[in-house]
């Protein structure tokens, strides 16, 4: 079960850093935050420890006296969880979300076409099963 518990916004930001940058030390995670709004070292630390308690990250090694943390849950599973929740707030329907993504230019035509292809493939597979 990769599920893990619900992660807070801030916790997700830290996971984000780990997903993007591979195993990192506390200091390195801190450096992922913009200089003008960077939490204190110990703030990050507390979060990472909490993530560790939740089973979302683990210590993989020690460089000098610094622990190096790596994500234990995948970006995908976190995304799944989030989307679930997110859609729940909007009646479970994804369509308005899509519409919004398009209107704000977050989705390109290529993205959509790619999606369509995937979808066709999936539905065909279902037919055959």
Partner DNA sequence: GCCAGTCTCCTAATATTGTAGTAGAGACTA
Partner DNA sequence: TAGTCTCTACTACAATATTAGGAGACTGGC
Site string for DNA, 49-88 (x = CB under 7 A): xx-------------xxxx---------------------
In whole angstroms, give the CA distance from residue 66 to residue 102.
Answer: 44
H-helix segments, 3-108: 9-21, 26-31, 41-53, 75-89, 95-103
In whole angstroms, give the CA distance from residue 56 to residue 48.
Answer: 9
Q: Which stretch binds DNA (CB under 7 A): 20-28, 81-89, 95-103, 114-122?
A: 20-28
| Binding residues with a copy of itself: total (CB under 8 A) | 44
66 near a copy of itself, rule: CB under 8 A: no
- The β-bridge partners of 59 are 69
In whole angstroms, give the CA distance from residue 77 to residue 98.
Answer: 20
18 near a copy of itself, rule: CB under 8 A: no
| Number of residues assigned to the chain | 129
Point out which residues bind a copy of itself (CB under 8 A).
Answer: 9, 12-13, 16, 20, 75-76, 79-80, 82-83, 85-87, 89-92, 94-104, 106-109, 111-116, 118-120, 122-123
Point out which residues bind DNA (CB under 7 A).
Answer: 6-11, 25-27, 39-43, 45-47, 49-50, 64-67
């Amino acid at each position: 079960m990769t599920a893990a518990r619900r992660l807070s916004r801030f916790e997700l930001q830290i996971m984000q850093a780990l997903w993007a940058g591979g195993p990192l030390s506390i200091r390195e995670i801190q450096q992922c935050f913009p200089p003008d709004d960077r939490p204190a070292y110990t703030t990050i630390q507390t979060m990472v420890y909490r993530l560790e308690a939740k089973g979302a990250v683990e210590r993989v090694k020690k460089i000098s006296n610094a622990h190096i943390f790596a994500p234990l849950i995948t970006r995908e599973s976190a995304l799944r969880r989030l989307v679930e929740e997110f859609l729940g707030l909007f009646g479970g329907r994804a369509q308005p979300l899509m519409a919004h993504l398009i209107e704000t230019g977050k989705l390109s035509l290529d993205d959509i076409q790619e999606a369509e292809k995937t979808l066709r493939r999936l539905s065909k597979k279902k037919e055959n099963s």
